[in-house]
Structure 1
């Protein structure tokens, strides 16, 4: 290896049809990339770019990705020669609004001159943990929290990923937020983001499942795949106080009825359904 200025980074680029975006995201989440970026193209495709150190660049990515998606996918592999890749990468990512009240800066905290007065700023570097804020399932959860979090609330964030929903709840005035994450590596990423925002007095990170959580919560947000939501439904219903509200996101439209049936079977009532593209979020209440 040469010094840090002689191509220490590798960039993988590929495009998939939008219908395969979720399968591609699942593959990306399994790769140990230093950063990942997606961009929707005008022709109905989604472009992906992943960055790796040379030492950790994946083997046979096109073959493995094609196998995971069930269709041939061409993967372009390039060396990135600038040793300041990480800084340049973050500088190239534009901030974007989330919900009605937040703006996400994909990198370090912005200077005061760069912040918008009309939105609450969060800074979350893209990486291995899901939830930088741009995905529809995250957006649906943020909008629910914006409508329902009140000062003094106790909020549970199940499958916290990057910690974004816990940060949103804390920023909106929740008195206590418990963020649950089963993946130890992702939990470390969430902890870094929580520390970056100095919310340790409000947000507790629990590495484990809903079985690891105790207490009773006014609001609950679970952004998980439908199968996990249904597996966890008994715990979610138990942890929600009578009169408490929940949002379940990460549900594809064809799966919504099955998730709704599971929720009803645990005594939860569906009060609303929000959608974005192919995704649905169910809003629920636990009767008093």
Structure 2
């Protein structure tokens, strides 16, 4: 027997959704049907495609190679279905969105929901390394990524430019400064995103270039958590300026060693960028309402 279309689709959705049960829900079939399709596909390929554990599923090397093809097949199916069903298909669609900076993504999602209130949206915030990897592996439909790599297979449209700043409590002795230096922050507790983030890399490179080492650092997973830590008096956070409403009440002070402007772009695999829902989201995110970081 040869692998059939249903097996590839089931396999692609297990990877997309992160589990057999979630794939079954998205496809409207039983979990046992999904399991049977994937098991049969693995037998046809002659190699294990997925590693199952309590933490979820992961792709083997063979699985990653096959997933890229299977996902392109699913995307082509979606494009054909859109042509057959017309714009009615948009009302019951599903989008998986990821980002490494919250504010541009959440602004775009808010505006998109006004136009398409019934579309199901999955949104997750990741560090830069994880976010770019998930897009490379086609694990998301679209992403908003700062300093997104230029890849031929990606549609990439700039939406915002900003620079790194220090987030401080208004009561901080440094809050009234017009600009801060690493020397000013040397004895402070500095809050950074987790390892693998763009912020952590930019700060590390600036330290090496200036020959100044920030002595005390705390790593945290997301910008909202970093801001909460600042409000609680845990330290001073370094992150892109104007990154979220949660930072209201904090002072944003530029940093002398971090003068470079960083560009956030809306990014999607080119074949997915042509799908109506993905294109509608890209158009929303890249509209003039999001090009001005002060808005």
TM-score (norm 2): 0.29
Higher strand share: 1
Higher helix share: 2
Larger C-alpha radius of gyration, 1 or 2?
2
> Whose relative contact order is higher, 1 or 2, with alpha carbons under 8 Å and at least 6 apart?
2
